[in-house]
Homo-oligomer: A and B are copies of this chain.
Amino acid sequence: MNEPEVHSVKEPARSIPEPTLRRLPLYYRLLKQLRDGGRTGVSCTMIGTELKLDPTQIRKDIEMTGTVGRPKIGYDVHDLICAIERFLGWDNTIEAFLVGAGSLGEALMGYAGFAECGLQIVAAFDVDPNKCHRVIHDKHVRHVSKLPNLMRRMKVRFGIITVPASEAQQAANLLVEGGVLAIWNFAPAKIEVPERVLVTNEDLYCSLAVLSQKMTRKLAQSRAKGVSKP
């Protein structure tokens, strides 16, 4: 039942806390700014002040990437950038297919910053023949029927779904047929895939819920404090 725990080196076999993974890109962005500004060293205190986060938390996050700092000095900016890249897998190129060439798909194809993370959208697909045979941001849009074969042939292992909710499952099926390893799903719908496939949902309604609930409570509070029954 329990794995033998035989690690050749100090590879982190345990899974990394998701909050940590979500914070690393924030540090990464700041570090690049600092580097471009000519800085070579940085401390957790400074990152914390800049990002309004607890320095200890940042130290623990950085520890995960394997970077060691020096007391009184902090970390080397360049080393840290490289370590985060390596840790997140942003030092290797990942080729991706995008399904759904609507405005959201177009927006993602235009995200220049993805290149820095090693993400390269190599082609887009759509069911609508009118949207096919176009070129958006240098990428060809093809008909979805071509997806599975092309995916296997080009050995692409990553899929991005930007179709409407009603077509999300079909899109997922095509990607699975093509041998996808991980899917980034922007459709507000749950998709059913084999267990081996990693899925991350980018569900805008979940974020909206956080914001609108907080806003509603804030409005209620200010109303209660302000004009309580005029």
A binding-site residues for B, Cβ under 8 Å: 11, 16, 18, 21-26, 28-29, 51, 87-90, 92, 94, 102-104, 106-108, 110-111, 113-114, 117-119, 157-158, 165, 181-182, 184, 188-190, 198, 200, 202-220
Note all chain B residues with C-beta closer than 8 A to A220: 11
Query: Can you name the residue of chain B whose Cβ is closest to the Cβ of A213?
Result: B88
**A110→B22 CA distance, assembly (Å):** 28
Assess whether B205 is in contact with A113, with CB atoms less than 8 Å apart. Answer: yes
Note all chain B residues with C-beta closer than 8 A to A26: 190, 203, 206
Minimum Cβ distance to chain B for residue A51 (Å):
7
Minimum Cβ distance to chain B for residue A202 (Å):
6
- Add 6 more A-B contacts to A29-B205, A106-B107 (CB < 8 A): A28-B205, A89-B213, A103-B103, A103-B106, A113-B165, A182-B218
Assess whether B205 is in contact with A218, with CB atoms less than 8 Å apart. Answer: no
**A161→B92 CA distance, assembly (Å):** 31
Minimum Cβ distance to chain B for residue A92 (Å):
7
Query: Can you name the residue of chain B whose Cβ is closest to the Cβ of A16?
Result: B213
Minimum Cβ distance to chain B for residue A174 (Å):
19
**A167→B14 CA distance, assembly (Å):** 39
Note all chain B residues with C-beta closer than 8 A to A114: 208
Note all chain B residues with C-beta closer than 8 A to A190: 26, 51
Assess whether B200 is in contact with A210, with CB atoms less than 8 Å apart. Answer: yes
Assess whether A216 is in contact with B89, with CB atoms less than 8 Å apart. Answer: yes
**A5→B48 CA distance, assembly (Å):** 32
Residue among B113, B157, B219 making CB contact with A181, cutoff 8 Å: B219
Assess whether A198 is in contact with B215, with CB atoms less than 8 Å apart. Answer: yes
**A118→B103 CA distance, assembly (Å):** 22
**A18→B16 CA distance, assembly (Å):** 20
Assess whether B107 is in contact with A102, with CB atoms less than 8 Å apart. Answer: yes
**A92→B216 CA distance, assembly (Å):** 9
**A208→B206 CA distance, assembly (Å):** 17
Assess whether B16 is in contact with A212, with CB atoms less than 8 Å apart. Answer: no
**A206→B219 CA distance, assembly (Å):** 29
**A110→B125 CA distance, assembly (Å):** 20
